[in-house]
Structure 1
Amino acid sequence: MPKEAKPLILICEDEKEIAEMVADHLEGEDMLPQMFHRGEHAIRFLKSNHANLMLLDVNLPDTTGFQLIEELRQNNIQVPIIFVTAHNSEVSKVKGLDLGADDYLTKPFSLPELTARIKAVLRRTETAKDQLITNNVEITEKPFDFCDAKVNPTRMEIEFPDGASEKIGRKELGIISYLVSYPNTVLTRRSLIHAVWGVHADVRSRSLDQYVVKIRNLLTAHECNTDIFRTVHGVGYIYDPV
């Protein structure tokens, strides 16, 4: 049985001794730490890589932790964040949490407490992801119509006019939901990939097209109207119900 991947924890901290101490401790806790001493380097990494969590100081040589978290959110980078900082005023704590941080720990701190907080945030993050089918679909969403069929996200299935029903996968459901969210609009392949696989996903258009073929074949097999779900050659797709 393959081992579970170690969570990647970014440490964005200007004091190198503290960063190295935390990194050594996290390695012993079966986590994979990566250190950054400047905010710009952390941003650059996160624009093209996934991390499970970031430990973020307020004071950085090139920016502040508050500015950094705002830039992350502006770039739609939703990495969980724990502030680890000497700023212990109530104003700073409230600001950090209001900006979207998941926790706020003040220096000095104990390493066991830091570990406990990291694990708590990781658990909450995973629980929240359980509600997601793709980036744009939650399992709690209500059924909706698509090409004469009814799509049920909770059951992850499509009910057809002929009375049959078929299970569908997360990617197919994500594609259909995104198309229905933007009717009568030409959606590029890239926008669909970002919506379903994520902004940083390395997915080729051919993979998307293969999923679209699966959706069309399923609809055609149950005599649904696929004329309103069209390919716009060289661009992407359009769902044109009216």
Structure 2
Amino acid sequence: MRILLVEDEEYMAQAVAQVLEKNNYAVDLAHDGECGLDCGLSGIYDIIILDVMLPKRSGFEILKILRQQKIFVPVLMLTARSETEDKVNGLDLGADDYLTKPFEMQELLARLRALARRRQEISLPSDCSFGDILLNSHTLSLYCGSQSFKLTLKESQLLEMLMDARGGVISKNRIIEKVWGFDSDAEDRHVEVYISFLRKKLKALDANTTIETVRGMGYALKAGKEQARCFKNESAGLSSPTWLC
């Protein structure tokens, strides 16, 4: 999951980003409103953490433009001010949640998990499953039947993109922007290497779901004929595993 953090206090932004990365989030930083707006308009982010008081453009301005442009990524507003009027203004403009500085990192992580669950309920109604595979993006685990593999963070992000597309084609450029970052120097060969990694793991799991190459366009998931598998579901945080068939 890729997060955009728009925060002009660079020391604080770096500290928050380090904690988020340790919790398996990919993070891009923007330190002023203009840069934050440009990044937000790219549409590559799963969640945006947006400070209210920013140079060049305020968080409120950024949020208003994003919603006008039909970009409905979940937005968590940060502010040093606790006035009710500010919170109401942000929520009315389309913010999904609000956090007042200073805050505890555990609270920020909990709010991000809640926003991520809300996003998955909308975009991935089958609990991150496609064909006969299931992805737990929180634990970076890929399941097929009773077998499972631990993925790397980039493998999980790439596979989540393909699952989110529900069989649609995702271009290499889009994958680079989403998985490596907006300003990354990653190239097509990086995508090809990670696609190869995922294909090997799907084959090792004896999955019927495959990653198809669509020449000149990109990649897409294809479900095989046998889709009725049971999945071990640990994403709900239950003390004993449940099974989805």
TM-score (norm 1): 0.51
* Corresponding letter in the other structure for 1:41: C
Aligned counterpart, 1:50: 44
Structure 1 residue 36 corresponds to structure 2 residue 30: yes
SS at match of 2:15: helix
Structure 1 residue 71 corresponds to structure 2 residue 59: no
Contact 2:87 2:98 (8 Å CA) reproduced: yes
Aligned counterpart, 1:62: 56
**C-alpha distance after superposition, 1:160-212 (max 9, x if no partner):** xxxxxxxxx9689xxxxxxxxxxxxxxxxxxxxxxx99xx979x9x97xxxxx
Residue 15 (structure 2) aligned to one of 10, 14, 21? 21
CA shift at 1:131, angstroms?
Answer: 5.7
Structure 1 residue 126 corresponds to structure 2 residue 120: yes
Aligned counterpart, 1:100: 94
Measured in 2, the distance between the counterparts of 1:201 and 1:27 equals: 21
* Corresponding letter in the other structure for 2:113: K
> Unaligned regions of 5+ residues in structure 2, if any?
127-164, 176-213, 218-245
Measured in 1, the distance between the counterparts of 2:90 and 2:24 equals: 28
> Unaligned regions of 5+ residues in structure 1, if any?
1-6, 133-168, 173-195, 208-242
Q: Which has the higher Rg, Structure 1 or Structure 2?
A: 1
Aligned counterpart, 2:131: none
* Corresponding letter in the other structure for 1:33: V
Aligned counterpart, 2:146: none
Aligned counterpart, 2:5: 11
Aligned counterpart, 2:226: none
TM-score (norm 2): 0.51
Measured in 1, the distance between the counterparts of 2:166 and 2:103 equals: 41
Measured in 1, the distance between the counterparts of 2:60 and 2:41 equals: 18
* Corresponding letter in the other structure for 1:117: R
Residue 116 (structure 1) aligned to one of 110, 127, 131? 110
Q: Give the share of equivalent positions with the same residue, in percent.
A: 39
Number of residue equivalences: 141
Contact 2:4 2:40 (8 Å CA) reproduced: no
Moved segments of 4+, more than 3 Å: 169-172
Measured in 2, the distance between the counterparts of 1:30 and 1:129 equals: 20
